[in-house]
């Protein structure tokens, strides 16, 4: 795949992904390209400055930025669950089953479960997902949500 910065005859700028340079040329020759903003079919590649990433810079900067993005997303997920779901603590497996089997009103819960309890719930078809640990939580923290 190749990404091009594109520009239409009206001056709109946008990007497009193509299987190859030849695929861009083919679509352009057929008039198959269209500006998503104004609908112009006069679309050309814009001048681009290529980004060259060295091995060391790519590993350290890219990996660090990715870790930060993932950590931020995990924190937001945990914050959302803690604000909007009912915490049932160690009763999580029992409550998740009661909800699954229709023995109590359906609601979103989170709480504690051991690895064995998680496996049993999954084997029974109870829908659960891991909750990212709180910052500074012990490594063995096992929060689960339903």
* Span 93-106, pLDDT tens digits: 999 999 999 999 99
Q: Name the pLDDT band for 54 (thresholds 50, 70, 90).
A: low
- Sole residue written with tokens 């051991």: 114
Beta strand residue intervals within the chain, DSSP E: 2-8, 13-18, 43-45, 86-89, 109-112, 129-130, 143-145
Q: Find residue 89's DSSP bridge partners.
A: 111
pTM of the model: 0.50
Give the N- to C-terminal CA distance of the chain in Å, as an integer. Answer: 38
Average pLDDT estimate for 36-56? 77
Q: What is the pLDDT of residues 59-76, one digit of tens each?
A: 556 677 878 888 888 888
CA 120 to chain centre: 27
pLDDT, position 47:
76
Of the listed ranges 28-37, 49-58, 93-102, the least confidently predicted one is: 49-58
Average pLDDT estimate for 38-66? 72
Please say if the pLDDT value at position 45 is more than 60: yes
- Higher per-residue pLDDT: 66 or 107: 107
Domain boundaries along the sequence of the chain: 2-45, 56-145
135-138: long-range contacts (C-beta < 8 A, 24 or more apart)? 135/75
């Amino acid at each position: 795949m190749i990404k091009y910065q594109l520009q239409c005859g009206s001056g709109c700028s946008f990007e497009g992904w193509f299987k190859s340079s030849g695929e861009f040329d083919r679509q352009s020759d057929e008039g198959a390209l269209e500006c998503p903003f104004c609908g112009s079919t006069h679309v050309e590649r814009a001048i681009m400055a290529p980004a060259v990433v060295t091995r060391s810079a790519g590993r350290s900067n890219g990996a660090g930025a990715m870790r930060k993005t993932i950590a931020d997303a995990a924190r937001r997920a945990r914050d959302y669950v803690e604000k909007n779901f009912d915490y049932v603590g160690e009763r999580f497996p029992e409550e998740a089953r009661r909800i699954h089997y229709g023995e109590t009103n359906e609601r979103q819960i989170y709480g504690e479960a051991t690895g064995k309890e998680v496996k049993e719930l999954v084997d029974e078809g109870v829908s659960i997902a891991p909750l990212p640990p709180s910052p500074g939580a012990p490594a063995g923290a096992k929060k689960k949500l339903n």
